[in-house]
Structure 1
Amino acid sequence: MTDHADAIRANRSNWDDRATAHAARSGAGYRVQRYVDDRETLSGVVRFDRTRLGDIAGLSTAHLQCHIGTDTLSLARLGARVTGLDFSAVAVAEARRLVSETGDDVSFVQADVYDAVEALGAESFDLVYTGIGALCWLPSIDRWAAVVAGLLAPGGRLFIREGHPILWSMDDTLADEPHLRFSYFERAEPVQWDDDSSYVQIDTPLASTKTFEWNHGLGEIVTALLANGLVLTTLVEHDSVPWEALPGQMLERPDGEYALDAHAGVAPLSYTIQAVKPTD
């Protein structure tokens, strides 16, 4: 049985490496220079859900698992008052460096997401936001939902777009067609990986290559939110994701999203959830 603390430490080392690679000014990684050069630029993840996000101007916002801050500063560019949180000290340092160059008014805190209530303050936020590729690094979805509920002020809203658990169940090393291989449901034992690449182009291979991931079924996610007192207001499944999740099987769309090619529509690839904390 994998020790969860050891797994989290390995994941943090991997994300320390990724943060440096993703923040490269060479045009690799997240192509961060475009956020410096054009103050109107929004990340593809935020742009995809802009209509569903609605008017967020003036909303106090916590962005959990913010990585190097490209989605975080994008929320700020839509008028939100944003604090980003990430467990990687390197990611937080890169996020701070980025906004120092762009001029966006965003603050960043280093902490584990499970410690976010203590790190950011209980019942403080109008909006809690989480983007793509976050939940698979967490061993317990119920603990995450409790954190979200603890951060939201009464009447506050959760907004999350995430890779679909069906997608996380697929084997991305097989390129002929989608293959279900891994558990759809949350399990105590994580899936282990050893890979020196990332999901975007990077200039050099990663040094910390071992990672551990946990899947969470869509029903488990919704149930965890409901069990922690939130009211579900939106659940939309999408046929695309913002990276080439299944190499050799996907086509890139004009908006930068990737969808299945020959097997288009056979499975959802991502989803958007919104939930509200009641005022009473």
Structure 2
Amino acid sequence: MNEPNQNEPAGLHKEAAPTSEELWNEDTYAAWTSRFGTPVEAAEKLLRDPAGKLYPLNTYLGEVKGRRIMNLMGSNGMKAVALGLLGAEVTVADFSEANARYAGELAQAAGVQLDYIVSDVLELPEAHLNGSYDTVFAEMGIVHYFTDLAPFMATAYRLLAPGGTFVLRDFHPVTTKLISSKGSTAKVRKHKVSGDYFDTALEEKQVSYSKYMPSSGGASEADKPNVVYWRRWTLGELVTAAAASGLVIKELVEEPNLSSDVYDKGIPKTFTLVAVKR
């Protein structure tokens, strides 16, 4: 954007004001920079240990060198670039121009090729829905954005080559739907069953990266498209939707808290669903 004319009173610039989408994209890019550093700085970290960035997802992906992989809703490209560094041919599909910008710069800094499709994942170009991917994966905070799981699972099925693997890793619904926690140390950590596991209502939420976003001097928060609506799915609904798409369930792994703390010991925090296309 050009600098304003210093002789004009503030607010009388002849340029159109930036749209809420433009402001949102700028804030998104700034959020990732705040969280991970510039793409160059983030690439330097990835280059030191790309496999480490994929843990524990790499347990389910297996050998990736030479494989064609699609990362649905791949956001800022961290996992995709890590896979590229390990020799995979990776494509990301995500609706955000700002995510694509950060991911593209990250890939360039890391010296890997990355194909990034800016699109709603349910409206991908037909050229990609030809069953040519060895692996399709989505992870951590993805499925709650869909109010109907059938189109999402059908997309994964169409992307996969025969024998290809679909990997979905996300937050466990016992944690997201049922249990609330208070306290920050093991001695005072308290868990309470306060939710309704079978609730089907949509929830209004801020986008996941909002906490990393800088304060904006532009449009008000109410004018910016940072609000989304979530549908929290049960584990049974997720498995059933995957099977109904034609995918064959290979394994469902329920995982504890994998971080170094033990505050949530004994409570499932994440799950990984692995399915194959016959």
TM-score by length of 1: 0.76
Change (3 A) 1:205 1:41: farther
Q: Which residue of 2 aligns with 1:245?
A: none
How far has the Cα of 1:78 moved from its partner?
2.2
Q: Is the 8 A contact 2:31 2:213 kept in 1?
A: no
Pair 1:204-2:217 in alignment:
no
Distance in structure 1 (CA, Å) of the matches to 2:135 and 2:114: 15
Distance in structure 2 (CA, Å) of the matches to 1:211 and 1:17: 18
Pair 1:162-2:170 in alignment:
yes
Pair 1:21-2:30 in alignment:
yes
The CA deviation string for residues 223-248 of structure 1, in whole angstroms up to 9 with x for no partner, is 1111111111121111126xxxxxxx
Pair 1:136-2:136 in alignment:
no
Q: Which residue of 1 aligns with 2:12?
A: none
Q: Which residue of 1 aligns with 2:272?
A: 272
Distance in structure 1 (CA, Å) of the matches to 2:241 and 2:24: 26
Distance in structure 1 (CA, Å) of the matches to 2:23 and 2:170: 20
Distance in structure 1 (CA, Å) of the matches to 2:199 and 2:244: 16
Q: Is the 8 A contact 2:84 2:114 kept in 1?
A: yes
Change (3 A) 1:41 1:14: farther
Pair 1:68-2:76 in alignment:
yes
Q: Is the 8 A contact 1:145 1:224 kept in 2?
A: yes
Q: Which residue of 1 aligns with 2:190?
A: 177
How far has the Cα of 1:159 moved from its partner?
1.3
Q: Which residue of 2 aligns with 1:190?
A: 202
Q: Is the 8 A contact 1:45 1:131 kept in 2?
A: no
Pair 1:81-2:96 in alignment:
no
Q: Which residue of 2 aligns with 1:102?
A: 110
The answer for unaligned runs of 5 or more in structure 1 is 1-11, 242-251, 254-258
The one-letter amino acid paired with 1:29 is: R
TM-score by length of 2: 0.76
How far has the Cα of 1:115 moved from its partner?
1.4
Q: Which residue of 1 aligns with 2:235?
A: 218
Distance in structure 2 (CA, Å) of the matches to 1:107 and 1:113: 14
How far has the Cα of 1:134 moved from its partner?
1.1
Alignment RMSD: 2.9
Q: Is the 8 A contact 2:31 2:212 kept in 1?
A: yes
Distance in structure 1 (CA, Å) of the matches to 2:104 and 2:178: 35
SS at match of 1:98: helix
How far has the Cα of 1:103 moved from its partner?
1.2
Change (3 A) 1:74 1:127: same
Q: Is the 8 A contact 2:51 2:86 kept in 1?
A: no
SS at match of 2:191: coil
Q: Which of residues 136, 141, 145 is equivalent to 2:153? A: 145
The one-letter amino acid paired with 2:249 is: L
Q: Which residue of 1 aligns with 2:186?
A: none
Q: Which of residues 109, 118, 123 is equivalent to 2:126? A: 118
Distance in structure 2 (CA, Å) of the matches to 1:237 and 1:221: 13
Change (3 A) 1:70 1:186: farther
Distance in structure 2 (CA, Å) of the matches to 1:15 and 1:165: 29
Change (3 A) 1:167 1:124: same
The structure that has the greater radius of gyration is 2
The CA deviation string for residues 122-156 of structure 1, in whole angstroms up to 9 with x for no partner, is 21211001121111111111221111111111111
Relative to structure 2, which stretch is displaced further, 57-66 or 74-83? 74-83
Distance in structure 2 (CA, Å) of the matches to 1:84 and 1:186: 32
How far has the Cα of 1:101 moved from its partner?
1.7
Q: Which residue of 1 aligns with 2:8?
A: none
Distance in structure 2 (CA, Å) of the matches to 1:125 and 1:17: 32
Report the number of matched residues.
Answer: 244
Distance in structure 2 (CA, Å) of the matches to 1:18 and 1:166: 32
Q: Is the 8 A contact 1:87 1:113 kept in 2?
A: yes
Change (3 A) 1:268 1:212: same
How far has the Cα of 1:22 moved from its partner?
3.5
Q: Percent identity between the aligned chains?
A: 25
Q: Which residue of 2 aligns with 1:4?
A: none
SS at match of 2:75: coil
The one-letter amino acid paired with 1:177 is: K
